[in-house]
Amino acid sequence: MNASPHVLPAVRWRAEADSSDEALLSRCSGATVDVGCGPGRMTKALMARGVHALGIDIVAEAVQQARARGCTALHRDVFEALPGEGRWDTVLLADGNIGIGGDPHRLLGRVGELLAPCGRLVVDLAAPGGRLAIHRIGLEVNGVVSRRFPWAVVPADQIAALAAASCLRVLDVLNSQGRWFAELTKEGT
């Protein structure tokens, strides 16, 4: 676990996808955008499965590392224009990336704009029982911590209310190997 709740170690993101990622990856099908792809761990795993995947990240170095892994990746902010808006079959928010920007309601609204009419969001969540929390955190790489940025932590038992407020609905909430995630779709589908 993290030494501090306000520091995220980047070691996991630089590793390869592992068995704890399997349940999450198995829910991704069709054209998939991996939001906050980092160095491409999940994007690469999706591509190895034959899934058409695009990684996006706001950190240029992370995008370069993803490309070096053979991933298709763009240096983009999810809140700016993206290719394929409204046509993505799956949007992946792995590794707690529902926390991007510190405003999960805004992020889920944006994801709804990216999804095709019957598209799905696959999202990693914190364990149930806590409260939705907003922090200013930093990324730690080799003992060096980045400038702090806003980040939200969303427990699994809080996702239904967030989804409903963002015109999404929960299809499933799952626990696999102690890792919580949910699958959502647009309301009315």
Domains in the chain (CATH in brackets) are 7-184 (3.40.50.150)
On whether the CB atoms of residues 152 and 105 are closer than 8 A, the answer is no
For the purposes of burial, counting CB atoms within 10 Å of the CB of 18, is it exposed (0-12), middle (13-18) or buried (19 or more)?
Answer: exposed
Task: Look over the chain and give the mean of its residue pLDDT values, rounded to a whole number.
Answer: 90
Check residue 141 and give its pLDDT: 65
Q: What is the mean pLDDT of residues 30-58?
A: 96
Check residue 1 and give its pLDDT: 34
Query: Is the pLDDT assigned to residue 4 strictly greater than 60?
Result: no
Q: What does the alpha-carbon distance between residue 127 and residue 49 come to, in Å, rounded to a whole number?
A: 28
Query: Is the pLDDT assigned to residue 3 strictly greater than 50?
Result: no
pLDDT per residue over 74-98, tens digit each? Answer: 999 999 999 999 999 999 999 999 9
Q: Is 50 helix (H, G, I), strand (E, B) or coil?
A: coil
What is this structure's pTM? 0.90
